[in-house]
Chains A and B, each alone.
Chain A
Amino acid sequence: GNSVTQMEGPVTLSEEAFLTINCTYTATGYPSLFWYVQYPGEGLQLLLKATKADDKGSNKGFEATYRKETTSFHLEKGSVQVSDSAVYFCALMSGGSYIPTFGRGTSLIVHP
């Protein structure tokens, strides 16, 4: 079956530090890959996505590249802000399936 593994948090950084949150996956076929963000007290919202190998998704300074050879989709940002403090979820969707597969989420805390 499909699965997504994320690094455990919390990840604690100072403002302007470099961020990496690791995500690896197991899936049949050629899934699409997603990063969602959940701000405190809110629901999840899409941050970025990539639908085929070597695609790079980007949004709000965040980037992730679909690496089929390493089955990874690591999230990166060059300079985090306090407002980036949130929980980040990696997810995949396989063709022919109705159910998205989510990782457990990684909490990011950014200090001024």
Chain B
Amino acid sequence: NAGVTQTPKFQVLKTGQSMTLQCAQDMNHNSMYWYRQDPGMGLRLIYYSASEGTTDKGEVPNGYNVSRLNKREFSLRLESAAPSQTSVYFCASRPSTGSNTEAFFGQGTRLTVV
């Protein structure tokens, strides 16, 4: 049981380049999330998908787009990368029913924009 899988694990981009971060979960979860983690800032929600077919903005959506391709996959796209997007990105998923269920996280993508 792989859980939440993110690819790639590391990436270096030049300013202005585009890329897509991939995330897939095999737990049949309805809800999926993208966070960024920066020193001293904790986790900040970029976008989330409450269920297949829906996506919504989180706290810091500017400069990002997402696609909920199917129930398993939720991708994050940077159209024109900026140095301010250097961060560690985490994908997470959880069953949407009930408040007593925890989130499951991927291992993260460490992105550097130069």
Contacts and interface: CB of A to CB of B under 8 A. Distances in A.
Interface string A97-112: 1111011110000000
A61 B98 CA distance: 27
B25 to A, nearest CB: 12
Interface string B58-93: 100000000000000000000000000000001010
Nearest to A98: B50
B42 A105 contact: yes
Interface of B: 4, 31, 33, 40-43, 45, 48, 50, 58, 90, 92, 94, 96, 98-108
Task: Give the contact-size bracket for chain A.
Answer: 20 to 34
A44 B105 contact: yes
A95 interface: yes
Interface of A: 31-32, 34, 36, 41-46, 49, 51, 89, 91, 93-100, 102-105
B99 A93 contact: yes
A98 B58 CA distance: 11
The DSSP consensus for interface residues of chain A is: loop
Contact of A89 (B4, B43, B100, B106): B43
A100 B107 contact: no
Contact of A31 (B94, B99, B102, B103): B99
A9 to B, nearest CB: 10
A98 B107 CA distance: 22
A93 B100 contact: yes
